[in-house]
Structure 1
Amino acid sequence: MRIASRIMLGITAAAVAAVLTPAAAGASTASQAGWGPYFSADHKAAARGHVSVDRQRYRHWYWKTDFVRDRECFKDHKGDRHCKWVVKKVGKKVWEWRYREFFTVHSTLVNHKSGRGKCAWETFKVVHENGSSSFKSFANCGRHPRHFSFSGKNAAHISVDVSRGDHSRPTGFHSGWESVHHAGV
């Protein structure tokens, strides 16, 4: 009987630890997803890679306005006490859980036809949660694959356009915007 109760106690303690540990360690979650391969329109440039996302939660503190009923009392000139109910506006500091997502995009860009002025290009478009956009471009003018990466935070959507071009910019054969990462809401 004692052994059975010790086993049950051990199982119960392990179950409680299993339930409490993810909540305590749940401040950060990481995920990784692959994308591609995506090709330029003439299939002479190719890009593939993966995106790693680290989602961290934090407490956001702010002031909340509440209205409370309070009883105010005063004495008149005769010394009699009078009370009335008044509504007062009070500030209260409260918090809520919010999340930040830090991402890193890794890519491998392949140039299938290298030569004078023949480069493979990949242009990443990052749409942030506030609606603004930013762009990152990388080129490979050699015959061997090149690896690139960049980081940022709070991206709602990341897409890539693979194209051909010269040493200074992409000039043609665009693949169109292909999805790399879409944040879950």
Structure 2
Amino acid sequence: MRFIKKFAVSAVAAAALIGGALLSPASANAAVPYFDGPWGSYFSSDAQAEASGFVSVEKHKVKKWYWSKKHVKIEKCHWKNHKKKCHDEWVWKKHWTFKWVDEFRFTVKGKLTNHGWDSHHKKFRCAWATFKVEPFFGPSYVKKFKNCGEDPKHFWFSGKNAEHISVVVSRGDHWAPKGFFGPAGTVYDHA
């Protein structure tokens, strides 16, 4: 009987510890799936380059640290005629604090297929996928991927807080896209 009581008490304690771990602040940073979906297929204007793939976005709660100002009342005292005189004075004090903010981390995976790898024109032997990432705040940036071979090439990239991601599929040489630019296709739009 004593063993059963100890076992029951241990089980209750373990359940309380697990429950407490689930509600701890560390779980505030747990990833929550926000968006998952395919994109493409998008083509170059001559249909010799093709790109398609999958995008996933996770929502995280993160601490954003910043300096904050507070209006604080302090007591200032001085001596006059052997008597202590005090008065209240309001001053600004800076302190380091944080707030919880949402962060959206994305991963774009894709496949770039080069149907014109054996082109006689050296200027257009490679397939190119040029991604434009526009974040909520700050400048937009570009990611480029190429495939100059016969087999499809797989690629991926990731980042955070993208409001819009688009792709343009084109053809070019080993160094840069040169022509046959297709229309801009949407990879992800933050709703």
Q: Could you say which TM-score interval applies, normalised by the shorter chain?
A: 0.7 to 0.9
Distance in 2 (CA, whole Å) between partners of 1:114 and 1:91 is: 62
Aligned to 2:106: 103
Structure 1 Cα separation of the partners of residues 83 and 126 of structure 2: 93
The 3 A distance-change label for structure 1 pair 73 and 158 is same
What is aligned with 2:80?
A: 76
Counterpart in 2 of 1:87? 90
Q: TM-score, normalised by structure 2?
A: 0.70
Alpha-carbon distance in structure 2 between the residues aligned to 1:58 and 1:87: 33
Q: CA deviation at 1:35?
A: 0.9
- The CA deviation at 1:110 is 1.8
**1:22 and 1:44, CA in 2 relative to 1: closer, same or farther beyond 3 A?**
farther
Q: Which amino acid is 2:57 matched to?
A: V
Gaps of 5+ in 1: 1-12
Give unpaired runs (5+ residues) of structure 2. Answer: 1-14
- Whether contact under 8 Å (1:30, 1:52) holds in the other structure is no
Residue 173 (structure 1) aligned with residue 177 (structure 2): no
CA distance in 1, matches of 2:74, 2:25: 39
Percent identity for Structure 1 against Structure 2: 39
Q: Which runs of 4+ in 1 moved over 6 A?
A: none
Task: Compute the displacement of 1:161 (Å).
Answer: 0.3
What's the Cα RMSD here? 3.2
**Paired residue secondary structure (1:106):** strand
SS of 1:49's equivalent in the other structure is strand
- Count matched residues: 171
Q: Write out aligned runs for 1:43-58 (5 A).
A: 43-58=47-62
- Which residue does the alignment assign to 1:160? 167
CA distance in 2, matches of 1:112, 1:98: 45
Secondary structure of the corresponding residue to residue 42 of structure 1: coil
TM-score (norm: length of structure 1): 0.72
Distance (Å, rounded) in 2 between the aligned partners of 1:84 and 1:167? 76
Structure 1 position 147, deviation (Å): 1.1
